[in-house]
Chain A
């Protein structure tokens, strides 16, 4: 069965610090997809990134970067030079390749990031 573990329940940093949010996943499939979402205090989940299991290239988008390592089943998210607006709950999610059945997206429990001025 697929599973996502976000071991860090809460992280608190001071503005301009770099911070890494950990995500470890479990799956028996060779084809799978990983996602990160941001949930600001308003509640809406905002999509950040989608990565498939065949693409191990790291990705950078502005201050955000993602490190995908199949060898350790991890898909970590780093925010460089954090800002107060980055304060939110961040969710990592995993889906296995669709076989036409009841496969679904499985979420971790989230990491609450607080960036203090």
Chain B
């Protein structure tokens, strides 16, 4: 079955710690995205990538970093610089990097700060 997987489902972060959220897709999509969702809010774009070894900042990139070494994978690191990391993180992909293309989402990772 083709789809997007995210792991872990829940992640706990201690103060000053960097944590990495995994996102893998087997849809052969070129573009991948990371969004953050806070309670009662819509989704906000953190980073996106349209091709391997290339990525751009979204609206709220501060305190986050990404890499795109493989087409299938787009991990997100939440660094210690992100002062309010508690949120639900969703990864998405689309056939190409264009906002008009339908984005398909993974199941999400819930990040909590200890």
Alpha-carbon distance between A102 and B59 when the two chains are bound, in angstroms: 10
B-chain residues with CB within 8 Å of residue A46 when the two chains form the complex:
105
The reply to whether A103 and B99 form a contact with Cβ atoms under 8 Å apart is yes
Cβ of B8 < 8 Å from any Cβ of A?
A: no
Looking at A42, A95, A97, A108, which has the most chain B CB atoms within 10 Å of its CB? A95
Cβ of A50 < 8 Å from any Cβ of B?
A: yes
Contacting A at CB under 8 A, from B31-83, are 40-43, 45, 48, 56, 58-59
- Chain B residue at minimal CB-CB distance from A46: B105
Contacting A at CB under 8 A, from B14-46, are 40-43, 45
The reply to whether B42 and A43 form a contact with Cβ atoms under 8 Å apart is no
- Chain A residue at minimal CB-CB distance from B92: A45
State the B residues within 8 Å of A (CB).
40-43, 45, 48, 56, 58-59, 88, 90, 92, 98-100, 102-108, 110
B4 to chain A: closest CB distance in Å? 9
B-chain residues with CB within 8 Å of residue A109 when the two chains form the complex:
40-42
The reply to whether A102 and B104 form a contact with Cβ atoms under 8 Å apart is no
The reply to whether A42 and B56 form a contact with Cβ atoms under 8 Å apart is no
B-chain residues with CB within 8 Å of residue A45 when the two chains form the complex:
43, 90, 92, 105
**What 1/0 flags go to A10-37 for Cβ under 8 Å of B?**
0000000000000000000000010101
17 A-B residue pairings within 8 Å (CB atoms): A9-B40, A43-B110, A44-B90, A44-B105, A45-B92, A47-B102, A47-B104, A91-B43, A98-B100, A104-B48, A104-B58, A104-B59, A107-B42, A107-B43, A108-B42, A109-B42, A110-B42
Partner of B100, one of A9, A95, A106, A110: A95
Cβ of A105 < 8 Å from any Cβ of B?
A: yes
A-chain residues with CB within 8 Å of residue B105 when the two chains form the complex:
37, 44-47
Closest 6 A/B residue pairs (Cβ): A95-B99, A107-B42, A45-B105, A98-B98, A43-B108, A44-B107
The reply to whether B88 and A43 form a contact with Cβ atoms under 8 Å apart is yes
